[in-house]
Amino acid sequence: MDQQQISKWEQTRRRGMWRFVVVWTLVLAVMMTAATSLFDLFTPGSRPVLENMKIRAPVFLISAFLSGLAFWFVGQRKFRQRTEAARIVEGTNRVQRP
């Protein structure tokens, strides 16, 4: 993480974990649903798009939610590692948890 990424992640942290997870859930679920629906539209012999969407949408929502949580925790870990390393370089060996 460079300084720009750290400051961006600090802004994301201020908005909160649940907002981050909800936004990522919606973005990923819509993208996955749209991509598979388009694929179904152009694939001969597939079931109707709405029928497939009823099956896939809940699965995509759950997987997107879990992905959003994973992205949050990976981002937090990278942020902590980078900021702790910066504190050690600056000579402050005390690591304060937020």
Q: For 43, which DSSP code?
A: S
Position 6 pLDDT exceeds 90: no
- Of 69, 85, 67, whose CA–CA distance to 2 is shortest? 85
Cα separation, 1 vs 71, in Å, equals 14
Could you report the per-residue pLDDT of 40-65, keeping only the tens digit for each? 888 888 788 788 888 888 999 999 99
**Residue 74 pLDDT:** 95
pTM, entire model:
0.77
